Amino acid sequence: MLVPSRVGSLGSLGALVLLTASGAYAQLSSASVTGIVRDSSGSVIPDVKIVLRNAATSIERVATSNSAGNYVFLSITPGIYSLEASAPGLQTTQISNFTLDVNQTATFNITMQVGALQQTVSVEAAGELVQGATSELGAVVATKQVVDLPLNG
């Protein structure tokens, strides 16, 4: 008789864990950056060093493009960033002053030109205005808005 009771308790515990985990997923407060690195002929370029730099804190994250030319930065704090791609024998390419918002996945496909190592190509760009990768919604809430919220009770 004790066995069915334990099975019911374990089932309830399992359901509680699943509900809690799905609620935690809905509270994401980060962004991501992804893209493909290609040369001027459209061929993918592997092993490109890509640096993502936060404009406010100067904190940098570094990634390297894989054999398919893909790169990705996950769990990025929302803010204003710049992106720099460099590889031997290619011109350094920069994308400056783009904003990452909560739950945004920004895609920046980079085209690199053959050239001397000292040359830099700067591109001023904005991220996607419409989120096409997912149907999730997110917003940045200013400190003043939080402070001015009315409290019940």
Among residues of the chain, what percentage have pLDDT more than 90?
52
| Among 59, 71, 1, 58, CA closest to 32 | 71
Q: Is residue 7 situated within a structural domain? A: no
Please state the rounded mean pLDDT for residues 60-85. 96
Closest by CA to 100, choosing from 147, 38, 34, is 34
Residue 93's pLDDT band (cuts 50, 70, 90): very high
- The CATH number that applies at residue 90 is 2.60.40.1120
Higher pLDDT, 85 or 117: 85
77 lies in some domain: yes
Q: Answer yes or no: is 116 within a domain.
A: yes
Q: Is residue 72 part of a domain?
A: yes
The domain total for the chain is: 1
Give the domain range for residue 48.
31-124
Q: Does residue 100 form part of some domain?
A: yes
